[in-house]
Amino acid sequence: MHEMSITQGIIDLCLQHAGGRRVNSLEVEIGELSTVVPEAIEFCFEACSRDTLLEGAQLVIVRTAGRGECQECTSETPLTELFGSCIHCGSSRVAIIAGEEMRVREIEVED
Ligand SMILES: [Zn+2]
């Protein structure tokens, strides 16, 4: 399962940064254009964090909006889907500039 390995990656990254301390919470950013399903990440996190320093940590998922740059009129346009079109001129030649990312933004460890 796709989300399972992503979640495992998030956990590994947090463990590296936590330096042996317990992780209280973590904030993960998932772009709206990403194919990653936040609910699935939450579900996998429960299972994957068990018996690690992340067990019981609060997982906060932040969605970031999709944005693109139109190759036709060069305007910036909001994107709600991967192959959206420009709201200004209707062109479908839009390069995605934000919204596909998936990253750990912040972790909070115990003192
Ligand atoms: Zn345009």
Q: How far is the CA of 75 from the centre of ligand 1 (A)?
A: 6
Q: How far is the CA of 66 from the centre of ligand 1 (A)?
A: 15
**pTM of the shown model:** 0.86
Ordered per-residue pLDDT tens for the chain, 111 residues? 589 999 999 999 999 999 999 999 999 999 999 999 999 999 999 999 999 999 999 999 999 999 999 999 999 999 999 999 999 999 999 999 999 999 999 999 998
Q: What are phi and psi of 20, to 5 degrees?
A: 85, 0
Number of domains in the chain: 1
Whole-number Cα distances in Å, 103 to 58, 65, 82: 16, 14, 18
Q: How far is the CA of 32 from the centre of ligand 1 (A)?
A: 20
Q: How far is the CA of 80 from the centre of ligand 1 (A)?
A: 15
Range of the domain at 9: 2-109
CATH number for the domain that contains residue 44 = 3.30.2320.80
